[in-house]
Structure 1
Amino acid sequence: MNVNGKAIEVLRKYSLCDHCLGRQFGLLGKNLTNEERGFSLKTSILLNEFENYQVIKSDEALDVLKILAEKGMFKPAIEVLKSLGLRNLKISETCFLCDNIFTKLHLLADLAIGKLQKIEFESFLVGSLIPNWMIEREDSFRSQCSIVHGEALRAELNREIGKLIFSGLNDKEVIFDHPNILILIDPLKEFIEININAIFIRGLYKKLVRGIPQTKWTCNKCYGKGCEECNFQGKRYETSVSELISHEILKISEGTDFKFHGSGREDIDALMLGNGRDFILEIKKPMKRFFNLNDLEKKINEFGKDLIEVSNLRFSNKDEVRKIKAVAPFTLKTYKALVETEKNLDLIYLKDLESTLKDCTIKQQTPQRVLHRRADKIRIKRVIEVKIRKIKENQFEFIVTADGGTYIKELISGDDGRTTPSVSSILNNKATCIELDVINILKEI
């Protein structure tokens, strides 16, 4: 059966608009819209059958013309039949497959464009909310009619509305992977939802004071609601690295919230020095996404003066979030600790400690202090290098380079035997970390 024959067969059973008829042959031909395909098919059928009727007065040809007019809702066929004196036609009002949603294309596009006016973006993608019953109805229709060259209703709707939105905007492009904006359209309810995808800003931070966590610590008594325990702040600490960094970014981007992604984290009572720690700040639903990062860097550092400092800001993406988290355990870090021992120390023991720990493999069972939030397991870590400088009879500076994720305080104390070997076990002298700083984050290993 040729294409015209298949189209007539379909229209005998179902009322279809130009879009929906053409879409059943959407994989045939190039540079045609489905509406143009449908109109062309109906026109071709009209010309053939009208000629047959004029030449041989075929009742079958007249029947097909009636189908075009009534089921195809085709105005040229209606006019032809009127010229033949047939006026009492039962013309369908609704397309069986789309419920006439393709008549709303311009309305839906205009609604979407109106909602986009105050949002900064350069790329978008259109998606549609098609009810399951409509999708299932088209699937059943195709099965019954043996349609093999058809395109999905959702695909055509998204494309046609996307084209109208594109033509109504300046300098925007359609991108299928990671667009700035996702426009969700419910054609039946005439409802538009704008989903603004996050922006990601990557950089390095230094923490210049002790007593600030990397991220907000919600009060574990009131769970963020505010109580006497947390001075009605909903959090255990007044501020955090992430809050200090995000404050200015949220202001300039007009985002609704943020998520902080760090390449590892330092203890609350530790400084983060050297070149800084890699981080990515994810800003959710930003109304603005085009701004000068050099100016932003200055504003962040001014706001967080003497507390934190950021550098090397640049725009990033979600893929890099996964990468910085994945490489954190495989990144060498150098720490500086102030260690105090229970008994006085001779310099010879400190030299022995240096040589013993150099290139040493240690076993660390999850420290007791973090057991409430970490799985209890044994981790194998490497100590690469140790440098020691005696300060007092029972104090020394301990500079150690080790694998990322090494618990340095426990490397020093031994944590009641949960870390072996340790400074305490090697010296046979109880050792305690008094101060700890991260002074460098080195290359991946």
Structure 2
Amino acid sequence: MQKSEMLEDYDNILFKSRSILKEYTLCDNCLGRFFIKLTGFSSSRRLGSRIKDSLNFTTITKCYICKNLLTPSNIYVKMMQDASTGYEFSSFLVGATLKRSVVDRDDKIRSKFRLRGVDSIKTEVTRELGKKFAKKTKTSLDYLLPNITFTMNFRTDKCEVKAKPVFLYGRYLKNKGGISQKQESCQDCKGTGCIFCSNHGIVHFDSVEGKISQFLYKKFGSDQVKFTWIGGEDKTSLVKGDGRPFFAKLISPKRQNIQLPKKSVFDEITVNDLRKIDYIPRGSIPFRSKITILVMAKKGISSNKLKKLKQLINIPITLTGTHGKQTKKIVHKLRYRKNSLQSFTIEIDTDGGLPIKRFVEGNSVIPNITEMLNIKCFCKKFDINQIILSK
């Protein structure tokens, strides 16, 4: 752009600024914001000050739009510093909640004076706070993947901070029965987090979920952990082999870069191969399970009759859910051995998600063991020998 054109543009800016300032008193930030994209300036405040100097205009009252919202900006920067105490971060993003009246006044002037392509007051506020906080803390603004995100609420004069989640993958073994996979939610908040559960969403730590969560709270400084389990087992079941895979999402952890042990033991629970991952896969994750099932029959059963169990191999097993939805599973391999007149053990290699007790007892699963043998059967116990993720 030639110098003459630049001067002409600046004259137009001064002309429009004079019209605005005749009716409204604006701070340097708000005035400069309206025209900064037409100039080479990097600061709305400096541009606004330059325009006022050119017009011999002095601000002596509050800004009509923001009521001098950014004048005490150091106060808000201090609030951001206080809110982020204890967090490890090198990048951040700032969001803001403004009073509706501030936004309305900004919209009114932009519409009245036909100011097109102008950043909103909210954008200006977050940009200015971001620049000052970055300079103060020697960190950087990141609009894509910030370590932490601030939300400055100008309605309540409060600042909230959230860290980006950490995603983990691991496998757990259960070496003793009597431990549930999932932890019961806090009765007061139903799992959302409250003062009575220290925002964890759970109160007790006597399950697989509870024991692993407690470890992760301490390691990462996170309040909550959300698990995605690859299948489940009964409270009495053991989990052997390489263990059951799981994913964990840590909500707003204060620490991100933590060295994780390859093996951790929490009483009867062992966690192996715990590591950070980029994301948790969406949708259902296909897998196969190798399971040992102890079955009790209501009456005596012959070895010859048990041979019928082989008919369950490689045929569709139809599961009917509570709302009538049907899914199909396949038992790929099956072996059995008779223990006593009314007891036998089955070892199966099956698609993941087959409900073992229902498969034995015949509750909305067709075909099933009870039906196949024509004798009422009960699942006394089952153990997980191996979980294999499908590629």
- Say if 1:122 and 1:263 are closer, same or farther in 2 by CA, change over 3 A: farther
Deviation for aligned residue 1:413: 1.8
Alignment of 1:161-180 (within 5 A): 161-170=129-138, 172-180=139-147
Asked if the contact 2:339–2:345 (Cα under 8 Å) also holds between the matched residues in 1, the reply is: no
Given residue 284 of structure 2, which amino acid in structure 1 is its aligned partner? Answer: V
For 1:264 and 1:443, locate their aligned partners in 2 and report how far apart those are by CA, in whole Å: 11
For 2:304 and 2:39, locate their aligned partners in 1 and report how far apart those are by CA, in whole Å: 86
1:28-69 Cα deviation digits (max 9, x unpaired)? 2445221233233334x44xxxxxxxxxxxxxxxxxx4xx23
1:400-426 Cα deviation digits (max 9, x unpaired)? 2333221122212213xx321111211
Query: Which of the numbers 199, 207, 210 marks the counterpart of 1:243?
Result: 210
* Mapped pair 1:312 → 2:273: yes
For 1:31 and 1:262, locate their aligned partners in 2 and report how far apart those are by CA, in whole Å: 53
Asked if the contact 1:383–1:400 (Cα under 8 Å) also holds between the matched residues in 2, the reply is: no
Deviation for aligned residue 1:134: 0.4
1:374-396 Cα deviation digits (max 9, x unpaired)? x3424322223132131324433
Q: Secondary structure at the match of 2:225?
A: strand
- What residue is the counterpart of 1:16 in the other structure? 26
Asked if the contact 2:313–2:334 (Cα under 8 Å) also holds between the matched residues in 1, the reply is: no
1:309-359 Cα deviation digits (max 9, x unpaired)? 111111246x41x62xx224x3222222122334444444434422x1111
Q: Secondary structure at the match of 1:27?
A: helix
Q: Secondary structure at the match of 1:425?
A: helix
Query: Which of the numbers 319, 324, 345 marks the counterpart of 1:377?
Result: 324
Asked if the contact 1:327–1:444 (Cα under 8 Å) also holds between the matched residues in 2, the reply is: no
1:113-164 Cα deviation digits (max 9, x unpaired)? 2443432223321112211110011111111111113111111111111111
For 1:242 and 1:429, locate their aligned partners in 2 and report how far apart those are by CA, in whole Å: 37
- Say if 1:122 and 1:273 are closer, same or farther in 2 by CA, change over 3 A: farther
* Mapped pair 1:142 → 2:97: no
* Mapped pair 1:337 → 2:293: yes
Select the structure that is richer in helix: 1
Asked if the contact 1:389–1:397 (Cα under 8 Å) also holds between the matched residues in 2, the reply is: yes
Given residue 292 of structure 2, which amino acid in structure 1 is its aligned partner? Answer: K
For 1:219 and 1:251, locate their aligned partners in 2 and report how far apart those are by CA, in whole Å: 19
- Say if 1:237 and 1:105 are closer, same or farther in 2 by CA, change over 3 A: closer
- Say if 1:13 and 1:213 are closer, same or farther in 2 by CA, change over 3 A: same
1:194-218 Cα deviation digits (max 9, x unpaired)? 3345433321112222221111135
Given residue 158 of structure 1, which amino acid in structure 2 is its aligned partner? Answer: T
For 2:242 and 2:208, locate their aligned partners in 1 and report how far apart those are by CA, in whole Å: 16
Q: Secondary structure at the match of 2:294?
A: strand
Asked if the contact 1:350–1:388 (Cα under 8 Å) also holds between the matched residues in 2, the reply is: no
Query: Which of the numbers 334, 337, 341 marks the counterpart of 1:387?
Result: 334
For 1:191 and 1:382, locate their aligned partners in 2 and report how far apart those are by CA, in whole Å: 53
- The CA RMSD over aligned residues, in Å, is 2.9
- Say if 1:432 and 1:190 are closer, same or farther in 2 by CA, change over 3 A: closer
For 1:260 and 1:33, locate their aligned partners in 2 and report how far apart those are by CA, in whole Å: 45
- Say if 1:201 and 1:134 are closer, same or farther in 2 by CA, change over 3 A: same
- Say if 1:437 and 1:19 are closer, same or farther in 2 by CA, change over 3 A: same
For 1:207 and 1:30, locate their aligned partners in 2 and report how far apart those are by CA, in whole Å: 65
Alignment of 1:146-165 (within 5 A): 146-165=114-133
In structure 2, list runs of 5 or more residues that go unmatched: 1-10, 192-201
- Say if 1:165 and 1:380 are closer, same or farther in 2 by CA, change over 3 A: same
Alignment of 1:54-69 (within 5 A): 65=56, 68-69=57-58
- What residue is the counterpart of 1:357 in the other structure? 312
Q: What is the TM-score when the length of structure 1 is the normalising length? A: 0.74
Q: Secondary structure at the match of 2:370?
A: helix
Asked if the contact 1:363–1:419 (Cα under 8 Å) also holds between the matched residues in 2, the reply is: yes
For 2:319 and 2:254, locate their aligned partners in 1 and report how far apart those are by CA, in whole Å: 46
For 1:3 and 1:152, locate their aligned partners in 2 and report how far apart those are by CA, in whole Å: 18
Alignment of 1:31-110 (within 5 A): 32-43=42-53, 45-46=54-55, 65=56, 68-69=57-58, 73=59, 92-110=60-78
Asked if the contact 1:280–1:316 (Cα under 8 Å) also holds between the matched residues in 2, the reply is: no
For 1:42 and 1:219, locate their aligned partners in 2 and report how far apart those are by CA, in whole Å: 59
- Say if 1:168 and 1:237 are closer, same or farther in 2 by CA, change over 3 A: closer
Asked if the contact 1:124–1:174 (Cα under 8 Å) also holds between the matched residues in 2, the reply is: yes
- Say if 1:150 and 1:237 are closer, same or farther in 2 by CA, change over 3 A: closer
Asked if the contact 1:113–1:168 (Cα under 8 Å) also holds between the matched residues in 2, the reply is: no
For 1:216 and 1:393, locate their aligned partners in 2 and report how far apart those are by CA, in whole Å: 36
Q: Secondary structure at the match of 2:72?
A: helix
Q: Secondary structure at the match of 1:102?
A: coil
- What residue is the counterpart of 2:377 in the other structure? 431
Given residue 310 of structure 1, which amino acid in structure 2 is its aligned partner? Answer: V
Asked if the contact 2:204–2:210 (Cα under 8 Å) also holds between the matched residues in 1, the reply is: no
- What residue is the counterpart of 1:112 in the other structure? 80
% identical aligned pairs: 26
- What residue is the counterpart of 1:54 in the other structure? none
Query: Which of the numbers 414, 420, 425 marks the counterpart of 2:362?
Result: 414
Asked if the contact 1:386–1:398 (Cα under 8 Å) also holds between the matched residues in 2, the reply is: no
For 1:388 and 1:188, locate their aligned partners in 2 and report how far apart those are by CA, in whole Å: 67
Q: Secondary structure at the match of 2:249?
A: strand
For 2:116 and 2:232, locate their aligned partners in 1 and report how far apart those are by CA, in whole Å: 56
In structure 1, list runs of 5 or more residues that go unmatched: 47-64, 74-91, 225-234, 367-374
Given residue 260 of structure 2, which amino acid in structure 1 is its aligned partner? Answer: L
- What residue is the counterpart of 1:83 in the other structure? none
Aligned length: 368
Q: What is the TM-score when the length of structure 2 is the normalising length? A: 0.83
